[in-house]
Structure 1
Amino acid sequence: MNEEWLKDDETLDDLQLKGICVIQKKDAFRFGVDAVLLANFAKVKKGARVIDLCSGTGIIPFILAGKTDAANIIGIEIQEPMVDMAKRSVEFNKLQHRLEFINKDLKDIEFLKKLPKVDVVTVNPPYKLKNSGIINMNDENAIARHEICCTLEDVIKAAKGVLKDNGRIYMIHRPDRLADIICTMRQYKIEPKLIRMIQPNFKKAPNMVLVEGQNNGGTFLKWEAPLCIYNIEGGYTEEIDKIYGR
């Protein structure tokens, strides 16, 4: 049955969530724990409208479709092959009534203005600065990981353009970029409201950070207790198992 949906270099992966599966490349960029943590971190109310920026093959919209009662979720992604996979995943899962994927550049402000304002923006953006290491500018993996097609400011500016007043943005990034995230959010009048550090285990420094911001929100910032991925024995922590539904 899968052959009619898949190309030779693709797999159909079960999310273990209400039977939802996603199409991914076998040997290219594949979703990781960061996307799962972000989708779990986002607070999406019943009937909410959501836009996922830098959507890739759509993992965050598909998890949100399975875990929340969002009315409509739009994924925006610049790489056409990833959008093609996401659209086929929508058809496979029969989620056309809730999910839509658009092949567009989030820097296209005129396009963003045409979209309806949303309650929530999620984004798992490229983490690495464009000048950090040798980069193949046409490589799908490099585009997903490095600020080649968009910068942190581009992402926050796009979120500002599509969020309702008091709408929320949820982002996962690297802790070394936290100062940039906070400063850029405030530049666009998105107030940081909640920060949670992600640690490999309780003995290691954080290697990811989750940030919630509110469009035109008041100044009040909270920190949640850090989330550890692995316990001292090397297995997943109880919270991670719960997030994955195990």
Structure 2
Amino acid sequence: MRGEETVDELRAHGLRIIQARDGYRFSLDPLLLCAFAALGAGERAIDLGTGSGIIPLILARRCPDATFVAVEMQDGLAALAARNIALNGLDDRIMLCHDDVLALRRRFPVSSFDLVLSNPPYRRRGSGKVSPKRGRDDARHESTATLADFLAAAKYLVKPTGRICFIYHPSRLPELLAEAARQKLAPLRLRLVHGTAETEARMVMLEFAKGRHGDLRVLSPLVVRDVRLTYTAEVQALLGEEGTVAEAR
């Protein structure tokens, strides 16, 4: 193992994850998205912008009969995701796709997946503070693909009977809903994520569908920490004994 890396355990999921010691590290957000998304036995899912591969790795443990594609554009993160897939013995069920979201139409037929997931960059190009840690800005800021591109790719890839699940920053929720409506994607479920019960929402999770309609269900808020600033029971169940991950991407 390289000196600038750590191997972190997610015992609740039986996983070991290689990460940069001082660079991009996965946060709580993908774990919340995995819990929010519904994946059935034998289904096929794709993760747009997989980073270290955490979303397909968790879902592969939760759904032993499902198969996955993990899409990552950044060279370093794609290599890291490949190593994590191999480290956890999931090469036969998770295929790494080292490519841009904009190129996926050339790789996959339309309506190929039952579930499309994404924790896409939520900052526009040139906005926000620049992180001194390698890889974090590329994970946070839109590069070649915009929010509209992520939604268009998801719409192309998902089956008419399938689901699209995103976790995103609430400051851009109006834009997300407007763009989804423009692309004829119907919102089915929405859940806000709050750091504590007293603070504003810091993330929002949404499920969309194409080719069908339904009333939007606004679920009860997900609160990360209680009044003692310890993890709530719902979040602790996701983390298991390891007990903590970063809460800001």
TM-score (norm 1): 0.91
Q: What residue is the counterpart of 1:174 in the other structure?
A: 169
Deviation at 1:184, TM superposition (A): 1.3
Q: What residue is the counterpart of 1:119 in the other structure?
A: 114
* 1:65/1:98 contact within 8 Å kept: yes
Q: What residue is the counterpart of 2:17 in the other structure?
A: 22
Where does the alignment leave 5 or more consecutive residues of structure 1 unmatched? 1-5
Question: Which stretch shows the higher mean deviation, 80-89 or 221-230?
Answer: 80-89
Q: What residue is the counterpart of 1:61 in the other structure?
A: 56
Change (3 A) 1:96 1:50: same
Deviation at 1:134, TM superposition (A): 5.6
Deviation at 1:140, TM superposition (A): 2.0
Q: What residue is the counterpart of 2:183 in the other structure?
A: 188
Q: Which amino acid aligns with 2:156?
A: G
1:84 to 2:73 alignment = no
Matched residues in 2 for 1:46 and 1:238: separation? 27
Q: What residue is the counterpart of 1:10 in the other structure?
A: 5
Deviation at 1:8, TM superposition (A): 3.0
1:71-220 map, 5 Å? 71-114=66-109, 117-133=112-128, 135=130, 140-220=135-215
1:87-130 per-position Cα deviation (integer Å, ceiling 9, x unaligned) = 11111111111111111001115424447700000100001111
Deviation at 1:70, TM superposition (A): 4.6
Matched residues in 2 for 1:22 and 1:115: separation? 32
Q: Which amino acid aligns with 1:107?
A: L
Matched residues in 2 for 1:55 and 1:92: separation? 16
Matched residues in 1 for 2:41 and 2:201: separation? 32
1:136-187 per-position Cα deviation (integer Å, ceiling 9, x unaligned) = 8xx5211100112321101001101111112101110111111111111122
* 1:39/1:60 contact within 8 Å kept: yes
Matched residues in 1 for 2:65 and 2:130: separation? 37
Q: Helix, strand or coil for the counterpart of 1:179?
A: helix
Matched residues in 2 for 1:120 and 1:74: separation? 11
Q: What residue is the counterpart of 1:45 in the other structure?
A: 40
Where does the alignment leave 5 or more consecutive residues of structure 2 unmatched? 242-249
Matched residues in 2 for 1:230 and 1:79: separation? 32
Q: Helix, strand or coil for the counterpart of 1:21?
A: strand
1:187-208 per-position Cα deviation (integer Å, ceiling 9, x unaligned) = 2221110000011111111111
Q: Which amino acid aligns with 1:160?
A: K
Change (3 A) 1:222 1:235: same
Give the root-mean-square deviation of aligned CA atoms: 1.9
> Identity rate of aligned residues, in percent?
32
Matched residues in 2 for 1:171 and 1:19: separation? 24
Change (3 A) 1:232 1:208: same
